[in-house]
Structures are given as structure tokens and as C-alpha cells.
Chains A and B, each alone.
Chain A
């Protein structure tokens, strides 16, 4: 039984039961937030592409838990969970998804381009692997200034097959940038399995060739992610050198909103999904909290209800928010220059 294995694990020294509960509740909030997305999408309240993080919550939560306020992070378009884990107001995230003016990017980026500059979240990016070279630049900037900040760069297994990522990993080692490259291997790049797309099945093995420390870790157990992330981020902050970590995880839902169960049947079985659902990081963490006496059944129910309430409030907030005014169309193209309106 997975749960028994978990119970035997001790809490890492730095993780108080109280902090663990906080992280658990972050995962709950991500889950509930994501669960509100599909219905809102179907009601036409959002458009475009929409990729949810259900199943992968432990990864962003376990890594981002170790960031200082002045650290940086970038991630892919599957970015709702990362923003929530970093502490961005879920109401403003939902408003962004709804294309509203109160959104984190004034409604101009949408689901794939969340951002929170105050918290060093330098954005979600829609081109697979495109932000990995940017992370090298952020890391170079940190070295240039001589601070001990770090930059986390989250991307998927699909990104390991695009050229610029490999240019970036190579350069990361050349310039010794304090960047943690976090490859969230959820087994599929859209519908293409890792075993098909990668000549070498272990992505950590591939990254090893770039002369940086690499590690492959499990991504379904919050405690494991937390413990590994703590060590990795401490290493990168103090060495400094980059680190590549492949996190084995799974998305319970489709790639995006259009990847419905019929489409999913083309590339994965129900049994496979069920196998991973048995490893749900939220269920497992709840069990751990209960069995170690860190939480009661009632508390778990209460936290769950609270997270759901927060997600519903986010939807209500987004719904009540205004659309961006039309003048926004021409704003922010340049910092200092008006774009000519030709109509």
C-alpha cells in the first residue's frame, strides 16, 4: 500500500506539520481551482487553450515551497498551479482566464500567460521549451549581479525534444547559472508518449550529458518532492551551478480542454489513468496527515470546503469583473510609443 510507505517516512527537518498542512491546502486550492475551469470553459466564459494541472499539484507545490520572495520562476502554458503555489491571488488568475481587466495580465495573456512580477513569476509561455533559454538569461542576470537568488524553470517532457532547450542546457553549464530545470514528465507530449518521442527514455539521462547534476524523482508524493527540491535548490543557491531534475508525474485530465476522453482513448487506457489516480498526491497527503495525527477528518473536510469556496469565489470575482477597455488593444505594444490606429 502506497499510504503505508508514506507513513513510514519521517517529515524532513525543515517541514513542520503546520507547514505541511499549508502545502496540502495549496494543492487543494490548485485542485479546486482547476476543477472550476472546465465548467466555466464549457459555459463559454473562457476561450483559447486551457490546460489544467490536476494530478501534478505536488510538483509545483513541493518546489515553489522553497523559493524566497526574491527568487524567480518561469513555466510552460500549464501554469495555473505554479501561480497558485507562488501565492498569486486565485481571483486574479481566474479573471485572467476569463479575459477580464482585473486579471494578472489585464486579460491580455489568458490561461497560458499568467504572470506575477511582484513574486518573481516571470510568466507562463506557450511555445514548448521557449522559456528555457530565457531562464538561462535570468540565471545569468543573477550571477551578473552577484546575488544568491535562484530561478526555477518548469517545462514538460515534450520540451526535451526541441532544439533551443538543448542550447539552453549547454549554455547553463557553460555560464554556471543558478537555475533548476524542472522537467515535469507527465508521460505525454499531448498524445505522444515519452517512450516514442525520446530516443533515450530517461530524460534525466539525456540531460546528464550537459555536465550538470541531474536527478530523477517521483512527483506524486509531496514529501518526496519537498525533500528533493529542498536539497536541489539549496545546492543551486550555494554552488552555484544549474541542476536538472526529471519529475515523474501524471496529468489525470486531458492535455487541454479539447483532449476529451474519446481523444484520450487514442493514446492511453482507463486502467493507466486509474493506476495513477491511485497515487493522487492530495489523497496520499491527506492520509499521511491523518495517520500521523497532523489533522483530523473534520479538519480535512473543512480545508477541502474552504479551498472549494476560494475557487468559487475566484469564479464569481472573474464573472463580476469588467472586460478590458478597448484602449487596451493598443497599449503595451511598446513601453514608450503609440501604435497607430489605422481603422
Chain B
């Protein structure tokens, strides 16, 4: 095991996959000469050349469409969105094209493309740069949606995404890029649709994904130390496909659950998780399942307001105590 950052883990995955498969190429804004806005693609242009590390104009629809078209004839493009907030401009390409081509052409044209980049906020980027919106993508049949929280998962899941024959929405988080973690050495992948128990516990199940997994782990640590409450923290890792079995097994043990995400609460992905829990394990529940998420407001700029808008460790602790009350 080596300890590396989330950013380095992503870069390793890209490098290894580009070396393994000559059909893999990267395109996006500032991915080449500028070395990547968040430095994920640092050094790749020098290593692989401009045919495989393609700088683009600021044209999200063009980038997405170009990636889809190249994928349709068998290449494996990895398109970077500078942030997923900008992917909104490419929504038609993602939803009406990438997600539909296999189905509407009767299963004859696969679209093995990865759309990756940071989602979420938390750096005072205010209203237009702080979106999560994973529930929008998870809502669309034909897309896979993954949201790794640790360097090991980031690497293993990006490799899986690149090898997948379907369009994959690969959501990173700007606040995760510099986080560090142990990453196995050598070849490995992390499958989609397998949640990971990041901390075991018997009292309450906390279900999270992406950066809020770290929040949940901190909250669980604090609850254990100060209150003797043992939370089980499940990292969904992948939203489509979604591993409900791991969630349900945990609820059979704890009978209580809290779902945490950074996206807005209203019609957020947590609503789907809660709905499935009550459909599949209603009799196991000793308390209503609660959601901890962003306030249902545009994300504000002022530091104090932004902090109040995003879910916090304290919010999670409060929710855990409520389901135990």
C-alpha cells in the first residue's frame, strides 16, 4: 500500500488505462498544456501527446458530443468537465444522446465513454459553481453514476469506468483532490454496484457517498468517543447501479438509518434510498429514516451562509441522535 492523494490516484488510473489500451484518450478544457484545472491530468500531454490528451475550447456540448461520437466507433474517451456545474450545458448530449443510443438503436451501438470532473462545492464558489446534481444523472436510464470518496476507490473505480461499455458519470469532489489514503499497488479495479462499509457499528446506519462519507466518518468517530454511539458508515460509492443489499443488511442490524449527501434534500438521491428502505425493510425500522443534505436554496457566497447551507458533522450527529431518541 502506498499513501497518495485522490488526485494522484485518478492520474494513476488514467495513466495505466492509457498505457493498457491505445483507444483511451482524454479531452476537455485545460487538460493538456495547462496540466488540468485541478491538476488531475498533470504530465499526461507530455507523456501521451496531443492526439490522446486533447485540449478543447469552452464548448461543453461539443466536448460531450465529440466524446460520444468517438465512443460510438469504438474508442474509449474520457471527457473532463471542469466542474459538473458546467455539464448542465451538455445535458442534451448526456441525456438525449449518451444515455439513449444503445437502447434506441436496438442494442447495436455501445457508448463506452466516461464523463468525469468535480461536483459539489464548499470553496465559496457560490450559486453557479457548486452543484452536485448526481440525482439528475441517476434518474436517467442508460447512465451509470459513481461517486468515489477515497483515493483507493477513485483509482479502482476510474479504471472500471474506462473499461465499462456504457456511459459513466464519474463524479469527483473538489474538496477530495488533496485528501490522502492508502491505495493498493499494482493492478486492481473496484466494481460498480458494491457499497463499502467504511466503519462498522451496531446502533445507526449512516449512508453516504462522495465527500460526505468523510463527514460521516468524523461524526461517527465523535459519537463513539463522546456518546458511546456506534455508527455503521456505508459508502454507496456507486449510485447506478445501487447496492441496496449492503444497506439492508446493515439496517437488519441497526434498525435505524440516516442518509447524508451534499446535494439538496428536496428530490435528492437520499429520497430514493429512503424510499427503497421503507419498501424493502419497513418492519425492520425502529425510527423514520432521516436525510442530511444541503439546504434547498441556491448556494450562497458568504462563508457563514455557505457553511450553513451544506451538511455538517453537527447535522449528522443531530440526525443520529434523533433516530435514536
How many Å lie between the Cα of A139 and that of B74 in the bound state? 12
Q: Which chain A residue shows the least CB distance to B192?
A: A337
A335→B166 contact, CB < 8 A: yes
B57→A136 contact, CB < 8 A: no
B103→A332 contact, CB < 8 A: yes
Known A134-B97, A136-B66: A167·B61 in contact at CB below 8 Å: yes
A109→B105 contact, CB < 8 A: yes
How many Å lie between the Cα of A161 and that of B253 in the bound state? 58
Q: Which chain A residue shows the least CB distance to B144?
A: A334
* Cβ-Cβ contact count across A and B, 8 Å cutoff: 145
How many Å lie between the Cα of A131 and that of B65 in the bound state? 8
> What bracket does the count of chain B residues touching chain A fall in?
35 or more
Which chain A residues lie closer than 8 Å to B88 at the CB level? Answer: none
B103→A108 contact, CB < 8 A: yes
A170→B68 contact, CB < 8 A: no
Min CB–CB distance B67 → chain A (angstroms): 6
A134→B107 contact, CB < 8 A: no
Identify which of A133, A174, A334 contacts B166 (C-beta below 8 A): A334
Min CB–CB distance B107 → chain A (angstroms): 4
> What bracket does the count of chain A residues touching chain B fall in?
35 or more
B141→A333 contact, CB < 8 A: yes
Q: Which chain A residue shows the least CB distance to B108?
A: A117
Which chain B residues lie closer than 8 Å to A72 at the CB level? Answer: 73
B142→A134 contact, CB < 8 A: no
Chain A 128-151 against B: per-residue CB contact (8 Å), 1 yes, 0 no? 001111111111111110000000
Known A125-B97, A167-B59, A336-B165: A137·B66 in contact at CB below 8 Å: yes
Q: Which chain A residue shows the least CB distance to B101?
A: A123
Cβ-based interface call for A104 (8 A) = yes
How many Å lie between the Cα of A104 and that of B108 in the bound state? 10
Known A125-B97, A134-B97, A137-B66: A167·B57 in contact at CB below 8 Å: yes
Q: Which chain A residue shows the least CB distance to B73?
A: A141
A336→B69 contact, CB < 8 A: no
Which chain B residues lie closer than 8 Å to A123 at the CB level? Answer: 101, 104-105, 109
Which chain A residues lie closer than 8 Å to B62 at the CB level? Answer: 133, 136, 164, 167-168, 170-171
A135→B69 contact, CB < 8 A: yes
A333→B75 contact, CB < 8 A: no
Cβ-based interface call for B132 (8 A) = no
Cβ-based interface call for A308 (8 A) = no
Cβ-based interface call for B197 (8 A) = no
Cβ-based interface call for A197 (8 A) = no
Which chain A residues lie closer than 8 Å to B59 at the CB level? Answer: 167, 170-171
Known A115-B108, A171-B62, A333-B142: A138·B72 in contact at CB below 8 Å: yes
Cβ-based interface call for A127 (8 A) = yes
Cβ-based interface call for A236 (8 A) = no
Chain A 301-343 against B: per-residue CB contact (8 Å), 1 yes, 0 no? 0000000000000000000000000000001111111010000
Q: Which chain A residue shows the least CB distance to B56?
A: A171
28 contacts between A and B (CB under 8 A): A103-B106, A108-B103, A109-B104, A109-B106, A113-B105, A117-B105, A117-B109, A122-B73, A133-B66, A133-B69, A134-B72, A136-B65, A137-B71, A138-B69, A139-B69, A140-B54, A140-B69, A141-B70, A143-B51, A144-B25, A144-B70, A164-B62, A167-B62, A168-B66, A333-B103, A333-B142, A334-B102, A335-B110
> Across chains A and B, which 10 residue pairs bring their CB atoms closest together, nearest first?
A133-B65, A137-B69, A167-B62, A332-B107, A105-B106, A164-B61, A134-B69, A167-B59, A106-B106, A137-B66
Known A106-B107, A167-B65; further 5 A-B contacts with Cβ < 8 A: A130-B96, A134-B65, A137-B72, A141-B70, A336-B166
A interface residue numbers (CB < 8 A to B): 72, 103-109, 113, 115, 117, 122-123, 125-127, 130-144, 163-164, 167-168, 170-171, 174-175, 331-337, 339
